[in-house]
Each structure stands twice: as structure tokens, then as C-alpha cells.
Amino acid sequence: MSTERSGGKGKAGEGTRALKVRVKTAAKRSVASARWLERQLNDPYVARARREGYRSRAAFKLLEIDEKYKLLKPGQRVVDLGAAPGGWSQVAARKVGIGAGRGRVVGIDLLEIEPMPGVDFIQLDFLAPEAPARLMELLGGPADLVLSDMAANATGHKKTDHLKIMGLAETALDFARQVLAPGGGFLAKVLQGGTENALLADMKRDFTTVRHVKPAASRSDSAELYVLAIGYRGRPTEILTPDDGA
């Protein structure tokens, strides 16, 4: 990797000079990948994640959302959809009290995830028919909170990327309806683009409180948002009619 460092002043009063890393585009590296790498090298949240032992910068998004809305509580059962590399599961495990023998956290992803003390990871498509039952078995019951930081591979076409991530959020919501206990919560990543309002309207039928959230750790130049729903009303009770043989 070929990089250059340029000096810059730190925050006022610190008397330090911050170094910005610039990445040169190599023959085998596209302009887009070079920009991504440069952004990662200069991202303060990436550096902070390394210092504080988190598996990804995304951990700070959940920490900031939880600080404001108090989603994670001791003893909760939590599902982390698309959990790799485990940053959100890490935060959830600490908040629900895994280290003290309280709560349960189960993460699921198509990718293999490095083991984490007290957390169960499953390498499985969460859309697989057996996924809800397997997760609830590991949790020991229905979930109190379903988290999803999933994102499809970007194409660079804003409308296409928006529709792809909204499709993931919608399927994550359908999954949450199957595994959440009454009163439970749901948090999922979306992209601004228009159809996220339809998702919110759908969520309002099942949850008492629904809102958009953009944590500070979510890059300011990104269309990324999170939809947060609290107070799951529970699945409707099926009512048998005379035609059903009742």
C-alpha cells in the first residue's frame, strides 16, 4: 500500500498535529477502493474501535443509539441479524450482562464469525425456514430485541442500493415479528431514498413507537439511517371461524 501523510492542526487547545493518510491509486486498486481505504485509515471511529477492543466501528452506532433510547437492558434476550464481524453482538453482550451470567445474545450471519465468550453465533441464512426456531431455542424463549445492521453489497447506483437495503430491512422486520416477545424492540439499517417512509408506516401497525435515528458515528456524507421501533404489540391471535371446523 502506498500512502502519503499530510499534517493538520488538532482540536483547538490540544497543541497537536493530526496526520491525514492519503492513499495513492495503485494499478490493481480502483479509485473507489482507494477512497474507501483512505476513509478507513482516517476515520476516528475505526481508530477508537481498535483502542477500545471493538470488532468494528459500527459498535459506536449502537452504543450511541442505546445511550439515547435505552434499548439494551440487563437480562434481555437479543438477536443480531447479519452479525459479522460481531461489533453489535459485543455491545449487546456487555449491556445485557453476559459476563455476569445474565441475558442471552445470538448472532446469525452467512459468514463465519470469530467466537465470542457468552455469545452464540450461527452461520446460517436468517431467511432459512429453521432459523426462527433455532434462534429462540438458543435464546431460551422469544427475543426482547432484534438488531439488524445488514447491508447488501453496494452497486454505486443510489436507487438500486436503496431498494436492496430496504428489502433487507423489510425481511428483517418480518423475521422480528416471528421471534419478538410482546413489548420487544427492533432496530435496522436503511438508506434514505423515499421508500423508508412506507416501512415506518408498516412498523407503526405493530409497535407503539417508531422513529428514524442517525447516530453521530454514522458518516455525515452517508444516506444511512436506522429505523427504531419499540413496544411490539405481539402477533395477532388466530381466530377460528365455523368454516375452519371449530
Supply the residues annotated as catalytic. 189
36 is in an annotated binding site: no
86 is in an annotated binding site: yes
221 is in an annotated binding site: no
125 is in an annotated binding site: yes
Picking from 143, 144, 142, 198, the residue whose alpha carbon sits closest to that of residue 169 is 198
Which amino acid, one-letter code, is at 172?
Answer: A
Distance CA 212, CA 36 (A): 26
Rg over CA atoms, the chain: 20
No. of helices (H) and no. of strands (E), the chain? 7, 9
**Residues pairing with 190 in the sheet:** 225
Picking from 148, 137, 145, 133, the residue whose alpha carbon sits closest to that of residue 182 is 145
161 is in an annotated binding site: no
Binding residues for S-adenosyl-L-methionine: 86, 88, 109, 125, 149
